Amino acid sequence: MSTLGKYSRSVSIIGVGCTPFMYTLDNPETAGLTEGEMFGYAALKAMEDAGIEAKDVDFYFHGQASPMNSSNYITPNMQVADWFGMRGKASIHHSEACCTGYLALEQAVNAVASGKYDIVLSGCVEFGDSLAIPDKPAHFRKKFPMEEFLRTTAWIYDRAYTRAMMSGPVICFDDAAALYATEYNLSDSQMDDTLNHMSINNRRNAAKHPLALMRKEYSELAKEAGFDDVMSYMRSPYNPKMGDYLRVSGMEMKCDGAAAVIVCPTEMASQFKQTPIEVLGIGCAALEGNQPHLEVRGTQEAVRQVYEVTGVRPEEIDLFYANDFIITSHLISAEIAGYLPKGEGWKYVCEGRTAYDGDKPINTNGGRTSFGHAHAASGLADLYEAVMQMRGLCGERQVKNLPKTTMLRGFGGGQNLTATIIRTVD
């Protein structure tokens, strides 16, 4: 267990940017986009949002989960610099698998809180649906099939034990769901319905998001397949199981995308375009992939840290996000955070209360199963959505009550977990 210290100075978010999450190779208008163009787009959007120019940025962080595999780069931060005016500016690259985007905010906040820099940009990019072609220019890419993705996913796990024990990605499919069903005495059909309702809620949210990958609701897909009832469709072979609990609808939709955030000292933030959103604190934990129930244990520690350092109480959280590349994540993490009551959260899900128009909204952008999962970029895409919701700028998917305080739970690669609390500055 770690004890966090207070920031030396308060830090606030002043700008955010995000690309559409997409299959770039499937569209003639986006085929040929490079890492520099994607990262640069998100970074320039964040600068525009903040009302600053490239010359105002002191330092930038670059995140990408798998730069060597997907981009053939070992210094990917240097390959994007010219695309958003950073030539000559100092930078660092980091990679924490699917948690990269959440820790991207942590990196930027720490750099400003220390007093070393005043304005820091942190961005992430990922091509989850395509791979670089060796010895070809950056705009030449090929599809990244799921079988190849699953093979390379093993690279995030320990070579000495975890891979040999097969305790990596496949086992995590059902771990949290099985634990939850056992602990709270849910039948297999109740747990199945809960997971299906989470998928339905995520898709309803994404259907109203212009940047989301998957925008056709399951109710519409059910009708097209000849079903009168969406739940019958969700229980059918159109939505097959991948294990004891997880169905295809509850698995990430890997894709391409980028997102960025800009932070500065809160005392400076009022001079920029947007209402500042303060980063109150970030709790962090890490457990290797062979640790039993690592997601639950790591989330508990990260949440404990952030509540302890910020003094925020669970009942103050108005909006919740979780990196749900396995969809069970957003149920168990919301309960651990106290956003949903323990053992009762599944009922909230099945009643539609966690959708964007419910009283306990979760993943208003559609999460990893519908907004999409551009691995490193997903955390900052969630942050982008949270900031837009807190500004009241989300149109028909805007939550009922303007949120003041939001928690984001990051998770990735069987190792890193984070819990971040942000709050609108009065």
pLDDT at 48: 99
The mean per-residue pLDDT over the stretch 68-93 comes to 95
The residues facing 18 across adjacent strands are 259
Query: Which residue segment(s) compose the domain that 327 sits in?
Result: 279-424
Among the listed ranges 158-172, 192-206, 256-270, 277-291, which one has the minimum average pLDDT value? 158-172
Does some domain include residue 292?
yes
Query: Residue holding tokens 């609701």?
Result: 217
Does some domain include residue 321?
yes
Structure confidence by residue, pLDDT tens digits, 281-314:
999 999 887 788 889 999 999 999 999 999 999 9
Percent share of the chain, pLDDT over 90:
87
- The number of domains in the chain is 1
Pure H helices in 161-260 = 172-183, 188-207, 218-224, 230-234
Does some domain include residue 89?
no
In this structure, are residues 376 and 42 in contact, taking their beta carbons and an 8 Å threshold? Answer: no
pLDDT at 280 over 90: yes
DSSP state of 96: B
Distance CA 211, CA 371 (A): 7
Distance CA 269, CA 32 (A): 37
Does some domain include residue 120?
no
Distance CA 53, CA 259 (A): 17
The mean per-residue pLDDT over the stretch 78-82 comes to 96
Structure confidence by residue, pLDDT tens digits, 360-391:
999 999 999 999 999 999 999 999 999 999 99
**Mean confidence (pLDDT) of the chain:** 95
Strands 416-424 and 277-286: antiparallel
Distance CA 317, CA 403 (A): 8
Distance CA 323, CA 340 (A): 16
Structure confidence by residue, pLDDT tens digits, 219-236:
999 999 999 999 999 999
Does some domain include residue 324?
yes
Does some domain include residue 325?
yes
Does some domain include residue 400?
yes
Considering only CA atoms, which of 7, 9, 12, 8 is closest in space to residue 264?
12
Distance CA 184, CA 348 (A): 14
Q: What is the CATH number of the domain that holds 344?
A: 3.40.47.10
Does some domain include residue 95?
no
